[in-house]
């Protein structure tokens, strides 16, 4: 939260969401829950992403994630995607704060997203409002009708509630921290209306 608090130069909507996160931020104390570590195939790229992150603007967070990495439980919970059958091997998520995290909270969830190189994470949406902080990797991002744009390490990205958004990597993996606030129960789902049109989905491959 301290890092997000340094977002004074971000657009007003981003600053407003960070202010809401601050108001909902729980007092975690020092209690750490036991977790069963689990790695997925995409985690083969985690060390490369952390090495890159340690030399970038979010080096402190990259080092903290590296310290936590042996305890992380990585998942991929989407149903099979008819357009990409290999996504479960190229994308991984973990929760650090939340009902499945190392620290419990029913007000805010915090976790990590890891994408392998040359991976399109198709347009998807969820009721929770989401903020991303890029730790490593310059990927292309899109939300709603916004144009596709590269987001460098250190970028803060807002995904408003239920707005479809997508990311695609090129030659390097992407590692980013995310926060969820609001509806923490409803899952993220792929946006079928985006799947059939390259004009609406430049990530379609």
Handedness of CA 33, 36, 40, 43 (dihedral sign): positive
Cross-strand pairs, 176:
113, 134
- Unique residue bearing structure tokens 């998807």: 124
Q: What is the pLDDT along the chain (205 residues), one digit of tens a residue?
A: 566 666 667 788 888 988 888 888 777 655 566 678 999 999 999 999 999 999 999 999 999 999 999 999 999 989 887 777 789 999 999 999 988 888 888 889 999 999 999 999 999 999 999 999 999 999 999 998 888 999 999 999 999 999 999 999 999 999 999 999 999 999 999 886 544 445 444 444 4
- CA 16 vs. chain centroid, Å, equals 19
In CATH terms, 4-24+33-78+85-182 corresponds, of 3.30.1360.200, 3.40.50.620, 3.30.950.10, 2.60.120.10, to 2.60.120.10
HEC sequence for the chain = CCCHHHCCCCCHHHHHHHHHHHHHCCCCCCCCCCCCCECCHHHHHHHHHHHHHHCCCCHHHHHHHHHHHHHCEEECCCCCECCECCHHHCEEEEEEECCCCCECCCCEEEEEEEECCCCEEEEEECCCEEEEEEEECCEEEEECCCCCEEECCCCEEEECCCCCEEEECCCCCEEEEEEEECCCCCCCEECHHHHCCCCCCCCCC
8 A C-beta contact, residue 57 and residue 153? yes
């Amino acid at each position: 939260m301290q890092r997000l608090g340094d977002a004074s130069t971000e657009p007003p909507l981003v600053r407003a969401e960070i202010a809401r996160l601050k108001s909902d931020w729980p007092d975690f104390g020092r209690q750490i829950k036991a977790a069963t570590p689990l790695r997925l195939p995409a985690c083969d790229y985690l060390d490369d992403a952390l090495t890159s992150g340690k030399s970038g603007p979010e080096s402190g967070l990259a080092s903290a994630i590296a310290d936590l990495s042996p305890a992380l439980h990585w998942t991929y919970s989407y149903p099979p995607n008819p357009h990409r059958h290999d996504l479960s091997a190229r994308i991984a998520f973990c929760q650090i704060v939340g009902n499945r995290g190392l620290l419990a909270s029913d007000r805010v969830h915090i976790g990590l997203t890891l994408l392998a190189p040359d991976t399109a994470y198709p347009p998807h949406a969820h009721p929770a409002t989401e903020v991303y902080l890029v730790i490593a990797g310059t990927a292309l991002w899109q939300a709603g009708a916004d144009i596709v744009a590269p987001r460098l390490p250190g970028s803060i990205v807002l995904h408003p509630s239920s707005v479809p958004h997508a990311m695609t990597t090129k030659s390097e993996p992407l590692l980013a921290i995310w926060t969820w606030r609001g509806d923490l129960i409803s899952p993220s789902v792929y946006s079928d209306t985006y799947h059939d049109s390259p004009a609406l989905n430049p990530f379609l491959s």
